[in-house]
Amino acid sequence: MKERTAIGGAIAAGAMMAAGLLTGGAAPASASAVATHMPLEAACETNAPTCGYVGTTQGYYNGENVLFLYSQPGFCDTTVSSGAPGGCEAGAAANKLPAGVASSKDVQPLYIPVPLFSPAPGYLQCPPTPGCIDHPMHIDLSRLSSALGQPAGALKNVMLPGHDHIVTTRANGAPTWWDVVVVGVTNPGSWGRITAAKSYAEVQKLQATPGSGVTGDIPTNAYLFFQVLPGQLTTNVGVNTTAAPAGTAAPVTKGADNVGTAIDNLVSDCPNYTMVGQCQNIGLTKDFYAGSTIDALYTEPYWCDKSVSAAAPSGCEAGAKYKSVPPGVSSASHTDPLWVPVPLFSPTPPTQCPVTGCVDHPMTIDLSRLASALGVPAAKLRDVPVPAHDHILNTRNNDLPEWWPVVVVGVTNHKAWNEIVKAKDLQAVRILQEQKDSGVTPDIPTNLFLWFQTLPGVAG
């Protein structure tokens, strides 16, 4: 009881410090876990300028409309001469790979069909201005002056042309560097065939057909960094038109990692646990799953069911289960639990999510329903900082984003905590919960949901 009283006193003291600091609330409606996959709809898709280098474009893959998630600026090899401010050009291949890429086998080709006829097509995945997320604003096309029928001097620094995107692999959904290859299309009929087929195989057929108006593959010194998100789109989507600032070379300090390792694909803009304005609701946490540590990418604010009473301004509480699921979710069967082990002993061990908070988590919570267990008066627990905690998953949901209802597990001693952290698996929690006096509480329900997707591989 002394240990519980000390813990309760610390929580109560934290509550006094946190009073008035929370400005949380319910998240905007999300897409259902079984609907078309649009993980940025509540953040970057509708408010692009606030998202730094995080955003999406549409692409084509094997006859499908797919979505690319970009998360750091593009790279142009400046050892290849270019008259454009960002150092990007078309007509010559790169000599150098992006930083962190071990070999050319670790990058994939991204084919860029460019319409070279007038009037331009009514829909382009990437319009000519103001461009697409993480693309260069300008490019040097002077090496193509003869083919374009324009003086080289007039092509040294031009606006990036409007274009579409085609990939020949999903790269297992992992974020990676893609080598940009341009394909010029001078014939509207051929353009229509490419956009109908949505595949590079159709491009190759046209390239082999005399008079088709489709050029051969044109190399560039440019690379883009994105992942092909799972699933496919049923309709064309609006483009995120956040582009790199004019005149910047978009430097990159980290690229692809070893195969089988998740890449910290927010390294250039959103550090872990960020709650700063630049990234809004975009960021990462670490989670445990099946004996490994993995990365989780958050793209929407938390949601708490306010039909369950809570005194905290966030509307979040622990001790009673939610009655309703977030908007856009047809039933709880389309969610998967997130177990949150909370250390209830001193000193507090290192945790994946410290008391200062993680991205898209509430800052405070109502713990008054746990007053008896914590040995603290309920009045002192009605609005306290969210305790430090870890995250444990029992599924990856195929790396798709969804709402995860939070289930708390209290841990009252170092021994049990260390066993859970070493195992990195829900099974260890279940074994300890069955052992008398292990110091691990039964599952504690909450009215809180978090929105994220697991990133492929294991965390580096």
List per-residue pLDDT tens for the chain, 460 residues long.
333 333 343 333 333 222 222 222 222 222 222 222 334 433 343 333 445 566 678 899 999 988 888 877 789 999 999 999 989 999 999 999 988 788 899 899 999 999 999 999 988 998 887 678 788 989 999 999 999 999 999 999 999 999 999 999 998 877 789 999 999 999 999 999 999 999 999 999 999 999 999 999 999 999 998 888 767 776 665 443 333 332 222 222 222 211 222 223 343 334 433 333 445 567 778 999 999 998 888 877 889 999 999 999 999 999 999 999 988 788 898 899 999 999 999 999 999 999 988 888 999 999 999 999 999 999 999 999 999 999 999 998 877 778 899 999 999 999 999 999 999 999 999 999 999 999 999 999 999 999 888 876 776 5
Total domains in the chain come to 2
Q: DSSP E strands: which ranges in 37-100? A: 55-61, 64-70, 75-76
Paired tokens of 166 = 């085609």
Q: Domain range for residue 252?
A: 75-262
Do 250 and 358 share a structural domain? no
Specify the pLDDT at position 454. 84
Q: Are residues 254 and 278 in the same domain?
A: no
Instruction: Say if 444 falls within a structural domain.
Output: yes
- If we measure between CA atoms, which residue out of 60, 47, 335 comes closest to residue 197? 60
257 and 344 both lie in a single domain = no
**255 within some domain:** yes
**C-beta separation of 140 from 83 below 8 A:** yes
Residue 249 forms part of a structural domain: yes
Same-domain pairing of 236 and 343: no
Q: Tokens 């905007």: give the residue.
A: 28
Q: Are residues 406 and 295 in the same domain?
A: yes
Q: Of the candidates 239, 262, 285, which is a domain's last residue?
A: 262
Chain-centre distance for alpha carbon 47: 15
* 299 shares its domain with 446: yes
Spatial contact of 445 and 304, defined as CB atoms under 8 Å apart: no
Q: What is the CA radius of gyration of the chain?
A: 25
Are the CB atoms for 291 and 419 separated by under 8 Å? Answer: no
Residue 48, in any domain of the structure: no
Q: Which tokens go with 175?
A: 């974020």
Q: Are residues 180 and 293 in the same domain?
A: no
What is residue 284's predicted lDDT score, i.e. its pLDDT?
78
Same domain flag for 198 and 287 = no
Write down the residue that tokens 């007039």 correspond to.
Answer: 154
For residue 292, count other CB atoms closer than 10 A to its CB: 13
Judge if 257 and 275 occupy the same domain.
Answer: no
- Which of residues 220, 241, 262 is at a domain's end? 262
pTM over 0.85: no
Do 277 and 257 sit in the same domain of this protein? Answer: no
Q: Per the domain annotation, does 65 fall within a domain? A: no
Regarding whether 354 and 300 lie in a shared domain, the answer is: yes
Is there a domain that residue 81 lies in? Answer: yes
Among candidate residues 217, 240, 262, the one where a domain is terminated: 262
Q: Do residues 247 and 366 share a domain?
A: no
For residue 124, tell me if it sits in a domain.
Answer: yes
In a domain, 60, yes or no: no
